């Protein structure tokens, strides 16, 4: 029964069996979770599904990064702190944020997602998608660069392989005759314990400086 003393756990040593649900209980739980998943998928907007798929896609390269874990040895006492430390080292930090900056763009505008405190030194893959309005044939240019604010210091990302160019230019989209969009994916190195936020820096000239606001989508995955 739950609440009994199961003894001290020793790595590599057989221990008393811990109660668990049986085969049919697991089967029933799987069926319930599957039904709930299908119901949620039917009610989810395509844009959200696309964003989640993108978040999973940019997480894949991170899985190849080496992580230092504690190696357990048979015959030693199990340590909860070591186990929790290994789980923490394997748990990614991710975020999905959409910000709308309604101010006039001007020559330069920074848009950042909410900040977080890094639990350890990490490598973060960041994808930004910026949308702004301008005339169908504006005079001037507009670009965006992925940026990181770490402890109040703003920095740009490293070079490829994420992108072959440092800046991403805005291009006219099929959404409407005055909608322009730019995307970029970059990697950043984050220090342990740092307060970090990710975003984009929009640099504009000519007619683009009069654009009334920037809508920015930021997706990041850190490990």
Instruction: Give the strand pairing for 179-190 and 153-156.
Output: unpaired
Is residue 195 very low, low, confident or very high in pLDDT (cuts 50, 70, 90)? very high
Residue by residue, what is the 3-state secondary structure of the chain?
CCCCCCCCCECCCCCCCCCCCCHHHHHHHHHHHHHHHHHHHHCCCHHHHHHHHHHHHHHHHHHHCCCCCCCCCCCCECCHHHHHHHHHHHCCEEEEEEEEEEEECCCEEEEECCCEECCCCEEEEEEEEEEEECCCCCCCCEEEEEEEEECCEEEECCCCCCCCCCCEECEECCCCCCEEEEEEEEEEEECCCCEEEEEEEEEECHHHHHCEEEEEEEEEEEC
Asked if 127 and 187 touch (Cβ cutoff 8 Å), the reply is no
Is residue 37 very low, low, confident or very high in pLDDT (cuts 50, 70, 90)? low
Q: Taking CA 147 as the corner, what is the angle to CA 146 and CA 151, rounded to the nearest 5 degrees? A: 160
Which pTM was predicted? Answer: 0.62
* Structural fold of domain 93-222: Jelly Rolls (2.60.120)
d(CA 221, CA 223): 7
Is residue 182 very low, low, confident or very high in pLDDT (cuts 50, 70, 90)? very high
**At residue 81, does pLDDT exceed 60?**
yes
Domain locations along the chain: 23-89, 93-222
How far apart, in Å, are the Cα atoms of 211 and each of 19, 98, 113, 173? 62, 18, 21, 16
pLDDT tens digits, one per residue of 58-67: 444 444 444 5
Q: What is the pLDDT of residue 117?
A: 95
Is residue 121 very low, low, confident or very high in pLDDT (cuts 50, 70, 90)? very high
Taking Cα atoms as reference points, which of 127, 146, 148 lies closest to residue 190?
148
Which of 79-93, 115-129, 166-180 has the highest average model confidence (pLDDT)?
115-129
d(CA 98, CA 69): 34
Q: What is the pLDDT of residue 53?
A: 47
Neighbours of 2 (CB within 10 A): 6
Lowest mean pLDDT across 37-41, 73-77, 103-107, 116-120? 37-41
**At residue 9, does pLDDT exceed 90?**
no
Name beta bridge partners: 144. 168, 202
Average pLDDT for the chain: 76
Q: What is the pLDDT of residue 136?
A: 73
């Amino acid at each position: 029964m739950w609440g009994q003393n199961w003894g001290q756990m020793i790595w590599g040593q057989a221990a008393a069996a811990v109660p668990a649900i049986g085969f049919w209980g697991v089967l029933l739980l799987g069926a319930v979770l599957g039904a709930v998943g299908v119901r949620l998928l039917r009610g989810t907007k395509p844009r959200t599904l696309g964003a989640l798929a993108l978040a999973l896609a940019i997480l894949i390269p991170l899985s190849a990064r080496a992580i230092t874990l504690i190696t357990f040895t048979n015959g030693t006492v199990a340590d909860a702190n070591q186990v929790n430390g290994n789980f923490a080292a394997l748990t990614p930090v991710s975020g999905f944020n959409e910000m709308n900056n309604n101010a006039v763009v001007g020559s330069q505008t920074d848009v950042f997602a909410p900040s977080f405190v890094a639990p350890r030194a990490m490598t973060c893959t960041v994808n930004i998608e910026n949308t702004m309005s301008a005339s169908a044939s504006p005079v001037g240019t507009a670009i965006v660069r992925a940026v990181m604010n770490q402890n109040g210091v703003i920095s740009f990302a490293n070079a490829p392989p994420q992108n072959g160019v440092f800046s991403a230019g805005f291009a006219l989209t099929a959404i409407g005759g005055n909608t322009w969009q730019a995307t970029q994916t970059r990697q950043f190195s984050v220090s342990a314990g740092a307060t970090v936020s990710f975003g984009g820096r929009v640099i504009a000239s000519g007619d683009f400086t009069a654009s009334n606001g920037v809508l920015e989508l930021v997706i990041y995955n850190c490990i």
